[in-house]
């Protein structure tokens, strides 16, 4: 077989490899605590599941519009109005099979040899892989330790050149759990006014998981950027719907027809019943989100204090999402060795920092989307492992 060279430029998500290895060890009788995958450990709210069942009973079995059923897109616009007090046109909302396809399609719209795409590191790895896949140049900006792994507007603005086509922002960030507040985003938005050739892709998938009562600094706040703004959002994290494969995104008017074409040429449309579930989630009560957040607040405290009490481990306080990203090099091990020993000796599945970028080899990612008992036991086991 003669395969396309571009295939070799695609990487994979290590959290899934960690899961596969952990499951193998489990099957061989070794107990395992899973703090690897980034998905809430709660059930999808009942009223959301009921809406999908009803949609199937009502006969929503067929193809629907490629950009999503109108009712679902309108539910998204109502949600945007309710949360961010701004009106958007439902024609600029596209329902996607998960959050990921938005990054895939957005990068496909801009990526080609000669084009530069600015992205954070460490970050959700798919961004860098997709940039490389298209043959464009990945221009990383570091989430630096001196800023508690938050990004800096000045640093990002300094990387923009004539060749920059797309700027990727992820806030709150995976894997660092870092959260950048509105004042810094204001500064960035102001600077971006001087670079009208740059489109912004703002990954806001963790917008409902922000701690300390802080406001989500959505890019919807800047109407002057809206004709070159893509917002990636979805149901996966907020409503514990990772397996439903349902997401939505907002697009510049000019891109809508291209994204529709990409959808028609790949998936046709998103599962109709899932879209009805999505409407119920957005229009329904926020009780499940509030209950989930109460748990995440307790877990964040537990894991943050627990990690910092381990010899040689330093962890900044996550401001959003459900990840802790400690530096473990003080234990005498880099992130990869730490993870290997955690899995084999402590029975704890976590992900090495290098899964999210070359610069984070001294780090590991703990997902705290797990019960307090599991988090406490994992910390106890790792403490024993460190002797």
Within the chain, what is the greatest distance between any pair of CA atoms? 60
The reply on whether position 205 binds ligand PMP by CB under 6 A is: yes
Region of 57-65, 94-102, 256-264, 354-362 interacting with ligand PMP (CB under 6 A): 94-102
The reply on whether position 242 binds ligand PMP by CB under 6 A is: yes
Per-residue contact flags (x/-) with ligand PMP for residues 317 to 346, judged by CB under 6 A: ------------------------------
Residue nearest to ligand PMP (CB): 99
Phi (first) and psi of residue 283, to 5 degrees = -85, -15
The reply on whether position 239 binds ligand PMP by CB under 6 A is: no
Using DSSP bridges, classify how beta strands 164-170 and 199-203 pair: parallel, antiparallel or unpaired: parallel
Region of 95-103, 194-202, 278-286, 308-316 interacting with ligand PMP (CB under 6 A): 95-103
Contact 331, 320 (CB under 8 A): no
The two three-digit tokens of residue 257, written as one number:
């027809």
Q: How far apart are CA 97 and CA 79, in angstroms?
A: 19
Beta carbon nearer to ligand PMP, 15 or 310? 15
Beta carbon nearer to ligand PMP, 168 or 346? 168
The reply on whether position 362 binds ligand PMP by CB under 6 A is: no
Plot region of 43 (φ>0 → left; ψ -120 to 50 → alpha; else → beta): beta
In terms of Cβ atoms closer than 10 Å to its own Cβ (0-12, 13-18, 19+), residue 194 is: exposed
**Measured from the CB of residue 170, what is the shortest distance to ligand PMP in angstroms?**
5
Binders of ligand PMP among residues 145 to 174 (CB under 6 A) are 170, 174
Q: Which of 124, 251, 276, 366 touches ligand PMP by CB under 6 A?
A: 124
Q: How far apart are CA 90 and CA 121, in angstroms?
A: 32
Helix axes 46-57, 272-283, angle to 10 degrees: 140
Binders of ligand PMP among residues 171 to 200 (CB under 6 A) are 174
Using DSSP bridges, classify how beta strands 247-250 and 164-170 pair: parallel, antiparallel or unpaired: unpaired
The reply on whether position 236 binds ligand PMP by CB under 6 A is: yes
Beta carbon nearer to ligand PMP, 76 or 333? 76
Binding residues vs ligand PMP (CB under 6 A):
38, 98-100, 124, 170, 174, 203, 205, 234, 236, 242, 247
């Amino acid at each position: 077989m003669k395969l396309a060279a571009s295939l070799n430029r695609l990487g994979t998500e290590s959290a899934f490899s960690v899961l596969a290895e952990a499951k193998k060890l489990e099957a061989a009788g070794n107990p395992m605590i899973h703090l690897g995958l980034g998905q809430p450990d709660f059930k999808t709210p009942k009223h959301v599941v009921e809406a999908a069942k009803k949609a199937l009973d009502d006969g929503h079995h067929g193809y629907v519009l490629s950009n999503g059923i109108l009712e679902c897109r309108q539910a998204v616009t109502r949600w945007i109005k309710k949360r961010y007090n701004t009106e958007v046109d439902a024609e600029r909302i596209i329902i996607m099979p998960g959050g990921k396809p938005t990054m895939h399609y957005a990068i496909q719209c801009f990526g080609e040899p000669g084009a530069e795409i600015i992205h954070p590191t460490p970050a959700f790895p798919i961004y860098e892989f997709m940039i490389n896949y298209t043959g464009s140049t990945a221009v990383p900006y570091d989430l630096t330790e001196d800023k508690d792994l938050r990004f800096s507007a000045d640093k990002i603005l300094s990387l923009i050149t004539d060749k920059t086509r797309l700027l990727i922002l992820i806030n709150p960030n995976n894997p660092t759990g870092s959260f950048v507040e509105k004042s810094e985003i204001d500064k960035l938005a102001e600077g971006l006014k001087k670079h009208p050739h740059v489109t912004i892709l703002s990954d806001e998938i963790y917008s409902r998981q922000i701690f300390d009562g802080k406001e989500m600094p959505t890019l919807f706040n800047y109407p002057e950027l809206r004709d070159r703004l893509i917002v990636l959002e979805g149901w996966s994290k907020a409503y514990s719907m990772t397996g439903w494969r349902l997401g939505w995104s907002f697009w510049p008017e000019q891109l809508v027809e291209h994204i529709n074409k990409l959808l028609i040429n790949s998936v046709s449309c998103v599962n109709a019943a899932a879209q009805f579930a999505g409407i119920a989630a957005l229009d329904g009560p926020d009780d499940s989100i509030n209950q989930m957040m109460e748990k995440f607040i307790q877990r964040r405290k537990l894991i943050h204090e627990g990690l910092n009490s381990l010899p040689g481990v330093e962890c900044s306080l996550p401001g959003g999402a459900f990840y802790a990203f400690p530096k473990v090099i003080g234990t005498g091990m880099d992130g990869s060795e730490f993870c290997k020993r955690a899995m084999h000796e402590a029975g704890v599945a976590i992900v090495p920092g290098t899964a999210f970028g070359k610069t984070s080899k001294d780090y590991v990612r703990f997902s705290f989307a797990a019960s307090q008992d599991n988090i406490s036991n994992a910390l106890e086991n790792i403490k024993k492992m460190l002797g």
